[in-house]
Structure 1
């Protein structure tokens, strides 16, 4: 039997998938259209459900060593008034693993460094797929052709694989744009692993420590879909977020301009299926989500572990793919749709409605009693 597997995309989902497939006897080949592993991309949060998946990969201690454990996360107003607190150390005791902030490049490097049998080919852009009953044939822009027992599309929200197997699919505009950066600003709170997200009128600013000396930050602002303002300087960002209390201005100030990126936010309207024949989508290619719940990378890691488990437990690829979809679809749809609705809620622009929003958050039950939150980050594989 052909035990080779083709993976399109060398991001988090592709690397994690290759690592898990190696463990069950496959020999993956990853094809990445860019010329190298991504070294940028800022940071991200790996909630307890993601670190549970990392534990299944056998990498938990190394993740802890290359990240910052988040002890607490606070939601506050733009003026710094606390609306709600998430005691993440307590939740780690409850769920078994910590929530961490990590540089995306660190996660990429750790996953890729653990690959033993996988070859990563850079500069290969997928242009066509051909499926038979026994294999998948992939064709690339440089003329290269390869075959595998099956193919995994892990090539992000603008997936070329998805466009081949499901040509009718829609990216959904969120109504806002986001800036991301890495700052050298730290204080007592960040060194203690305390994260926060401040909500203004149609604007947000979030901070996640990723080490003792660095923080990852993101900022959002409502926008129209077709607006393209080009580059925005640090001074302009400070002005855009002028209503936000310290340490927001200082965090922007202590960020290198080259480390600031801007992106208009889209998600993927939930699909009815992620597979067709011997081709399976995972990660953002299958279920790109808005970043409001910090679950994009987390779901990609879950996908990698569960897909490998499913393949190991079933005789046929088609049966495994069907079970994988049945196992994952409801959970992922819930997270994508909940993140979308949360974005609409927190990006409210009317001052009056923002005041109502803040009151609702302040009066809501504690996070430990929030069943939706527990359903998301308390998930065990």
Structure 2
């Protein structure tokens, strides 16, 4: 079949690679002139890694991943270790190591694997319509294209979603702002093989190892939406937000580069169950935009991509039947994880002070199994189990 994908993010590229491997003619259209990853890094938990392994990218994704052997929560105010444990039991249980990876590195690898000859930039979709068994897509530059199937991987502001649902879906502000970036690994910050998270006051400062001796860092602070905060003020703002915190957190703030630090107001959308209309289908953030609180946003987009490609390959009652089967398989899992991330977001960022303080107390009693079981419950149920 001739398939057009709108959007060259993680989900769109993964779908493109999978569909090409099944013999389809695939073109990807991206609205930006230069593809820049949104955010510095991504948590590729084992289910996301397995999706890339399935596409034959095992060695390439492993080369991008950080060596994350352990996990620790630290009291951000006094520096005391609340809990610290090996992730090896989780790895053994699910059969795959997780990899924190640089978004730029991952996106470049996926683009190279898909190939640049059928990847078109500066193509902003403005309209689409189905005409019998073909879908026509129109772009802002006046051009258009047609295909047997159109896949909307066009993110949280998806125009394809509006076509599928027949209405716009408002984003919901999750209540906090996230700063993130990449820095060099140094021992005064955290162990090089550990995901280290400092918590307190409903805030977080976290470090995860990625390839090439770098940490992915992020800060979370509950704040009102719409604040006018300039890049040149990021360090001073973080110093104020974390003024009473322990030395490693201030060491981290000291070494970040404001010019390469991202600031994001975190949103999600309300779950819905309709993922396709006719021969137009959505995946990733277009279908289930989530907060990053359980690290499953990118992984769920990759799961969508793999299952969609397989649904089109193995079901023979027609395209719309295959899209229906994709929808029924994916909407329940993706929406469950969206709501799970929302619940974790509220606990982590002190929507209810008592609930968050109870969580801190639980962390001080935690030996590892309960946290790993929570992570495994997110991983299990992927299309490659």
* Number of equivalenced pairs: 379
- Give the corresponding residue for 2:197: 197
- Cα deviation for residue 66 of structure 1 reads 1.8
- Cα deviation for residue 223 of structure 1 reads 1.5
Deviates more, 1:25-34 or 1:341-350: 341-350
Alignment of 1:176-187 (within 5 A): 176-187=176-187
SS of the aligned residue for 2:293 comes to helix
Alignment of 1:102-121 (within 5 A): 102-116=101-115, 119-121=118-120
TM-score by length of 2: 0.92
Whether 1:45 aligns to 2:43 is yes
Query: 1:333-361 deviations in whole A, cap 9, x for unaligned?
Result: 11100110111111117766643331133
- Cα deviation for residue 152 of structure 1 reads 0.5
- Cα deviation for residue 128 of structure 1 reads 0.4
Aligned-partner Cα distance in 2 for 1:378–1:82: 29
SS of the aligned residue for 2:264 comes to strand
SS of the aligned residue for 2:101 comes to strand
Unaligned runs of 5+ in 1: none
- Cα deviation for residue 211 of structure 1 reads 2.3
TM-score by length of 1: 0.93
Query: 1:240-263 deviations in whole A, cap 9, x for unaligned?
Result: 222332322222222221111111
- Give the corresponding residue for 2:163: 164
Aligned-partner Cα distance in 2 for 1:327–1:227: 39
- Give the corresponding residue for 1:151: 150
Match of residue 332, structure 2, among 330, 333, 337: 330
- Give the corresponding residue for 2:15: 17
- Taking structure 1 as reference, are residues 220 and 242 closer, same or farther at Cα in structure 2, changes over 3 Å only? same
Deviates more, 1:69-78 or 1:96-105: 69-78
Contact 2:271 2:335 in 1 (8 A): yes
Contact 1:70 1:100 in 2 (8 A): yes
Aligned-partner Cα distance in 2 for 1:124–1:7: 11
Deviates more, 1:33-42 or 1:362-371: 362-371
SS of the aligned residue for 2:23 comes to coil
Aligned-partner Cα distance in 2 for 1:336–1:180: 21
Match of residue 344, structure 1, among 343, 346, 349: 346
Query: 1:111-133 deviations in whole A, cap 9, x for unaligned?
Result: 11112486111111110011123
Aligned-partner Cα distance in 1 for 2:91–2:63: 16
- Give the corresponding residue for 1:74: 72
